[in-house]
Structure 1
Amino acid sequence: MSNVVFITATPNQSSRLIGVTQYIENQLHTQGIAVATINVASLPADDLIGARFDSPAIVAANALVEAADAVVIASPVYKASFSGILKTYLDLLPQKGLANKVIAPVFIGGTIAHLLSIDYALKPVLSSLGARNFASAIYATDNQVTRSGQGDDLTFSLNDELTERLDNAIQELVEELRLRTAAPAQAATNL
C-alpha cells in the first residue's frame, strides 16, 4: 500500500486550507492510501527557528517524509509566497529529502493573482530538495471554500469547480502511486 504525508503549513487551524486538505485526505483514504500529517505549526517553534536538526519532533517528522511515497505540501499564500513556517521546516529536511517522491503542491490565497507562486516560489525550493516528479498543483481561492461553525463544530464546503480540480489531481496522484507500486512487482515477474 502507498502512503502519503501531508506537510500542512498554516498557523491558523480554522484556515480554509484545512478544508481543502481534509477533502484530499478523505479521498485518498477511500482509495486505500495511508495518510499521515505533519502540522508544521505544531512542531516546537524553538526547534524550527533554531534549526535543531536533532530535535526528536523534527527527526520524527522527517522520518514520515522519508517513508512516504508522495508528499502533499499545503500552504496559504502570504505576500506572494508560501508561509514562512513552511520554509523553516523545509530547511530542516535532508538535502535530497524529496527525491523519488511524487510531490503535490496545494496552495490557497485570497485571489487568483498569486497562482504562479507555486511555480516561482515553491517549486525551486522543492527542486533543491530533490523533487523531480510533480503531480498537478492545486491553487484555490478563499471564495471557493466556505467555512461554517467554530471550534470542534467547524466544517468546510468546497465549490464544484474546486472539487472537480481536486478530484482530477487526486486521481492523477493515485494513478502515479499505483504505477510506482506496480513497477517493482512487474520487474520481479520479468526476472
Structure 2
Amino acid sequence: MARILILTGSPSLRSRTSALALHVGDELSLDGHDVEVLHLRGLPAPALLSADTADPAIAAAVRAVIAADAVVVATPIYKASYSGLLKVFLDLLPQAALQGKVVLPLATGGTIAHLLAIDYGLRPVLVSLGARHITAGRFVLDTHIDHLSGGPVLVDQTSRDCIDRTVAGFRDAVRLVGDPADAALATA
C-alpha cells in the first residue's frame, strides 16, 4: 500500500481544515495505506520563516514529503488564497519534491467566492514542484464541517458525498500510479 502524507496548512489549533484532512486520512487508512499527518503549525516558526532547512524538524518534514508516494495538501482559504503557513513550507521544498507523486488538494473557506482558489492559487504551485498527477481537488464550506462535537465531521450530506467521490478518485489514482501494469492498462 502507499505511503500518504497529509499536510495541514492551518495555523489554528481548532481547525476545520485539519478536521477535514484527518477525516480523509481516516478513510485512506481504512484502505490499508500508511497515512502520516503533518500539521505545519507544529513546525518551528523561526526556522520556517528564515528558511532554515537544516533545522531538524524542518529537515524531517521535507524528508517526509520526499518519501511519500502521495500527498494530501489541506489548507484554509484566506483572502482568496491558500494559507501563508502552507506557502512558507512549500517554498522550503526542493523543486522536484512532488515529482512522481499523486497530490490531492483540499481547501476550506467561509464563502463559495473562494471556490476556485485551488485551481488558480494552489494547483500552479503544486505543478511547479513536479506533481505527477493532481487529482480533482475539493473545496468545502466551513459551515459544513463540525470540528468540535466529536460527531461526524461533515454535517452536510452533499459535502459528504463530494468528499467521498474526491477520496475515491484520489484512491484510484494512487492505485494506478503504484501499479505500473494497471497504469499501462488505463492508458491503453
* TM-score, length-scaled by structure 1: 0.90
Cα-Cα RMSD:
1.7
1:115–1:186 distance in 2 versus 1, CA, 3 Å: closer
Are residues 1:124 and 2:124 paired? yes
Q: AA paired with 2:18? A: I
After superposition, the C-alpha distances for 1:49-72 in whole angstroms (9 at most, x for unaligned) are 000011111110111111111111
Q: Over alpha carbons, which structure has the higher Rg?
A: 1
Counterpart residue number, 2:138:
138
Q: AA paired with 1:176? A: A
Q: Can you give the 5+ residue segments of structure 2 that lack an aligned partner in the other structure?
A: none
Write the distance in 2 (CA, Å) between the matches of 1:135 and 1:185.
Answer: 17
Equivalences for residues 17-36 of structure 1 within 5 A: 17-36=17-36
Tell me by how many angstroms 1:185 deviates.
Answer: 8.9
Secondary structure of 1:77's counterpart equals strand
Q: AA paired with 1:157? A: V
Secondary structure of 1:157's counterpart equals coil
Counterpart residue number, 2:173:
176
* TM-score, length-scaled by structure 2: 0.91
Choose 80-89 or 10-19, whichever is displaced more: 10-19
Q: AA paired with 2:126? A: L
After superposition, the C-alpha distances for 1:94-141 in whole angstroms (9 at most, x for unaligned) are 011111111100000001101111111111111111124111101000
1:78–1:156 distance in 2 versus 1, CA, 3 Å: farther
Size of the alignment, in residue pairs? 183
Equivalences for residues 158-177 of structure 1 within 5 A: 158=154, 159-177=156-174
Q: Structure 1 vs Structure 2: percent identity of aligned residues?
A: 39
1:155–1:45 distance in 2 versus 1, CA, 3 Å: farther
Equivalences for residues 1-12 of structure 1 within 5 A: 1-12=1-12
Q: AA paired with 1:81? A: S
